[in-house]
Amino acid sequence: MSESPSTQVYEASTVETSPVLSVRNLKVHFPFKRGSMFKPDNGFVRAVDGVSFDLMPGETLGLVGESGCGKSTTAKAILNLVKPTSGEIYLNGKRIDGLSPSQMRPHRADLQMIFQDPFASLNPRMTVGSIIGEPMKIFNLASGSDLKLEVMRMMDVVGLNPRYINRYPHEFSGGQRQRIGIARALAVRPKVIICDEPVSALDVSIQAQVVNLLMDLQQKLGLSYVFIAHDLSVIRHLSHRVGVMYLGRIVELAKSEDLYRTPKHPYTQALLSAIPVPDPDIERKRQRIMLEGEVPSPDIVYQGCPFADRCSIVDDKLCRHTAPTLEGDDHQASCFKVDG
Ligand SMILES: Nc1ncnc2c1ncn2[C@@H]1O[C@H](COP(=O)(O)OP(=O)(O)O)[C@@H](O)[C@H]1O
Ligand SMILES: [Mg+2]
């Protein structure tokens, strides 16, 4: 890139509008061996099959889709926990896919994760103080008596009583454990947090509290989130934009209000129609689109649209032979039967 002063001015003025995280045509294919020695059947599970998106500073991008559609694998590939088969991942404009653990180290603090099961992801033999303090020590952010103060401050930030610093994870409720997970992620002052179904394992009454906490933290700290969920109701109030995933691909991507008001893809329409409406009159009258069949296996290679078999508006001539791609500017959908 040119080092001329005009380029620098241009870069400075676009700092706020460039993505913190960019994913380009990400594919993660897992090889599998099936069949017998005499009739081997080797193939690939196409867990993630061409995912692209940008995440802007301070933005929440919701990623939603049924179980098995590749949400967690997308998250793991971004975090360098699984190796992408192809594609590119950029953090603050720097390419991070394929980096070794030591090359990844300088980027680690900027990119953190909150897991679905706060119990499984917290070491049961460590106190809350060490769970939250350890990453601070590793990244040299605090030590000695400062470390304890910083951990207590972080506990306070996520709504945990700092007096419980010496307690163990099992002494906390599910919601509190997820707060510990959030504090641990925040401890290294990240810019981006990948949240993989962080509230799915929690009681509905607790889910809203954790979602509100994450939204508060975003406001205060300017965080960006990729927020993964398996249904559209959870991410509605939290996401600025939503990407709907089906079989390893994003099939619709739009601003939250546009996606909920005028869903374009028949799969999104079906997912939305599965959410009950609180008003019983409307609930009785409204039409439900039932999704037929199961999510097909991700090891099949599709000629046409992967959703064709379950689609209520499938055009046999068109949809079963050619695969649609994401089209449109702000509101993108991957379907031949919707405009732009
Ligand atoms: N390590 C792996 N080896 C083989 N297949 C995997 C592996 N991890 C995930 N998969 C498969 O990839 C697909 C997507 O999984 P996943 O990303 O966990 O989906 P989601 O999080 O949306 O439920 C599934 O079919 C799953 O069985
Ligand atoms: Mg998952």
Domains and CATH numbers, the chain: 15-110+190-333 (3.40.50.300), 122-189 (no CATH)
Residues framing ligand 1 (Cβ under 6 A)? 30, 45, 47, 65, 67-73, 298
In this structure, which residue's CA is closest to atom 26 in ligand 1?
68
CA of 218 to the centre of ligand 1 (A): 29
In this structure, which residue's CA is closest to atom 16 in ligand 1?
70
Q: Is residue 178 scored above 80 in pLDDT?
A: yes
Q: How does pLDDT run across 270-311, given as a tens digit for each residue?
A: 999 877 666 677 666 666 666 767 777 777 777 899 999 899
- At 4, the pLDDT band (50, 70, 90 cuts) reads very low
pLDDT of residue 32: 79
Q: What pTM value is reported for the model?
A: 0.89
Q: Best mutation site among 32, 73, 81, 245 for ligand 1, i.e. most ligand atoms within 8 A of its Cβ?
A: 73
Whether 42 and 33 have beta carbons less than 8 Å apart is answered as yes
What is the Cα–Cα distance from 276 to 70, expressed in whole angstroms? 25
pLDDT of residue 296: 73
User: Cα–Cα distances in Å, from 26 out to 62, 77, 97, 212, 298?
Assistant: 17, 8, 10, 31, 15
- At 158, the pLDDT band (50, 70, 90 cuts) reads very high
Q: How does pLDDT run across 126-141, given as a tens digit for each residue?
A: 999 999 999 999 999 9
Structure tokens at 73: 């694998």
Residue type, 233: S
Q: Is residue 55 scored above 80 in pLDDT?
A: yes
Q: Is residue 5 scored above 60 in pLDDT?
A: no
Q: Which residue has the higher pLDDT, 225 or 36?
A: 225
CA of 157 to the centre of ligand 1 (A): 34
Mean pLDDT of the chain: 89
What is the Cα–Cα distance from 282 to 262, expressed in whole angstroms? 18
Q: Is residue 326 scored above 50 in pLDDT?
A: yes
CA gyration radius for the chain? 22
Q: What is the mean pLDDT of residues 157-165?
A: 97
Phi, psi of 300 (to 5 degrees): -85, 140
Q: How does pLDDT run across 65-98, given as a tens digit for each residue?
A: 999 999 999 999 999 999 999 999 999 999 999 9
Ligand number, closest to the Cα atom of 74 = 1
Q: Best mutation site among 27, 28, 29, 30 for ligand 1, i.e. most ligand atoms within 8 A of its Cβ?
A: 30
Whether 175 and 202 have beta carbons less than 8 Å apart is answered as yes
Q: How does pLDDT run across 180-202, given as a tens digit for each residue?
A: 999 999 999 999 999 999 999 89
Ligand number, closest to the Cα atom of 48 = 1
What is the Cα–Cα distance from 340 to 335, expressed in whole angstroms? 9
